[in-house]
Amino acid sequence: MSVEQAPVQRADFDQVMVPNYSPAAFIPVRGEGSRVWDQSGRELIDFAGGIAVNALGHCHPALVKALTEQANTLWHVSNVFTNEPALRLAHKLVDATFADRAFFCNSGAESNEAAFKLARRVAHDRFGAEKHEIIATVNSFHGRTLFTVSVGGQPKYSDGFGPKITGISHVPYNDLEALKAQISDKTCAVVIEPIQGESGVVPADKAYLEGARKLCDEHNALLIFDEVQTGVGRTGSLYAYQHYGVTPDILTSAKSLGGGFPIGAMLTTSELAKHLAVGTHGTTYGGNPLGCAVACAVLDVINTPETLAGIKAKHERFKTRLEQIGQQYGLFTQVRGVGLLIGCVLSQAWVGKAKDVLNAAEKEGVMVLQAGPDVVRFAPSLVVEDADIDEGLDRFERAVAQLTKA
């Protein structure tokens, strides 16, 4: 019997995997739409979406078709060559955004790594080595590479790995005065998540993003929007910068872009892109035909008036019901977020117990997330059926009722 055919169970994780994750006790084995089945055949409704990744749910026909056709055509040629799906995807992204140029990679961390390197390279070329400082926000999250955890404003992810990359500072999120006090002519970039995802689903104030744009312009610094979690329709606009009406110089995208297939993108202008000349940056798998073909199909489904309007309507359906649940059972003090990135802020009695809510929900057959210990996060398929929303929230309410009764 081959390794691929050998039966495996959750206990195998603890024997053969590096213990940097603590996965759930069950193993999902099949998905369709917003439903998932585990090894025992139990069905769950998926409001987690692979952490805002499965933008069209599981096994969406358009994505299956795109991947299957490409898998039978061409898998990989390296960036010694270009390929048709990468060029088609770049055209779609450029046509739909402020950007003129795209760089493709494999993940959000790599997208941000490229953005930070580009920002420093632009400043170096235009103003000299002294202009290299990056300002990020407290509790931000930008990936797990050494550079991106250093820029991210959560020491728990960056401590213990030796000297950190220098020239990085952090200011409170949504605090324009703090940013104004920190920015200087040595600043090469300010990086902001339009909605802080991992630290609690905290939307930016419009005035904050407008002020950051103005400060960057005044100090010849670049404004980077990390849209790894908010991009590709998650907010009801294709990208959150369009929702806010504030345009960055560099934008990073991943997660939903591939609908479950690993792909990331950095988007920017021609004037900035020229600073990443041949040989200055690269990636082996970035822009591979498989990922790009799937991402093209994702955009074709999501970037339509009907789908984007549907996301906003589904937000209201979620919010109305979650607010009712929160008020009835005293579990939440606030339901916040934009589009289908929603966070329920736990009440004082439940602070620190988001994982308990997740576990209770799973027992009732619904998959949700946490965003820190105090917020329950929902990031479902952007085309989740209303019937699945209602059934999933029925299950979630049963979980909350059991939890609060206990």
The tens digit of pLDDT for each residue in 243-284 reads: 999 999 999 999 999 999 999 999 999 999 999 999 999 999
Burial label, 379 (beta-carbon count in 10 A; 0-12, 13-18, 19+): buried
Answer whether residue 215 shows pLDDT above 70. Answer: yes
Answer whether residue 216 shows pLDDT above 90. Answer: yes
Whole-model pTM: value is 0.96
Active-site annotation holds for 141: yes
Active-site annotation holds for 226: yes
Residue 33: left (phi > 0), alpha (psi -120 to 50), or beta? Answer: left
Instruction: Share the mean pLDDT of the chain.
Output: 96
Question: For residues 181 and 211, is the Cβ–Cβ distance under 8 A?
Answer: no
**Per-residue model confidence (pLDDT) at position 5:** 79
Answer whether residue 400 shows pLDDT above 90. Answer: yes
Helix pair 289-302, 61-71: axis angle to 10 deg: 160
- State the Cα–Cα distance between residues 26 and 400, nearest whole angstrom: 21
Which amino acid, residue 198? E
Sequence ranges of the binding site for N(2)-acetyl-L-ornithine: 144, 283
Active-site annotation holds for 95: no
Give me the DSSP letters along 259-291: TTS--EEEEE-HHHHTTS-TTSS--SSTT-HHH
Taking residues 70-86, what's their average pLDDT?
Answer: 97
Answer whether residue 4 shows pLDDT above 80. Answer: no
**Per-residue model confidence (pLDDT) at position 1:** 39
Length of the chain: 406
**Per-residue model confidence (pLDDT) at position 298:** 98
pLDDT, tens digit, for every residue of 152-180?
Answer: 989 999 999 999 999 999 999 999 999 99
Which residue of the set 255, 261, 332, 353 is catalytic?
255
Q: Which residues contact 99 (CB under 8 A, 6 or more apart)?
A: 93, 251, 267, 268, 269
Q: How far apart are the first and last CA of the chain?
A: 47
Give me the DSSP letters along 123-183: HHHHH-TT--EEEEETT----SSHHHHHHSS-HHHHTTSSSPPSSEEEE-TT-HHHHHHH-
Which residue of the set 46, 226, 249, 374 is catalytic?
226
Answer whether residue 3 shows pLDDT above 80. Answer: no
pLDDT, tens digit, for every residue of 327-369?
Answer: 999 999 999 999 999 999 999 999 999 999 999 999 999 999 9
Which amino acid, residue 220? N
**Per-residue model confidence (pLDDT) at position 6:** 85
Which residue of the set 141, 225, 332, 378 is catalytic?
141
- What are 162's strand-pairing partners? none
pLDDT, tens digit, for every residue of 293-311?
Answer: 999 999 999 999 999 999 9
Taking residues 144-149, what's their average pLDDT?
Answer: 95
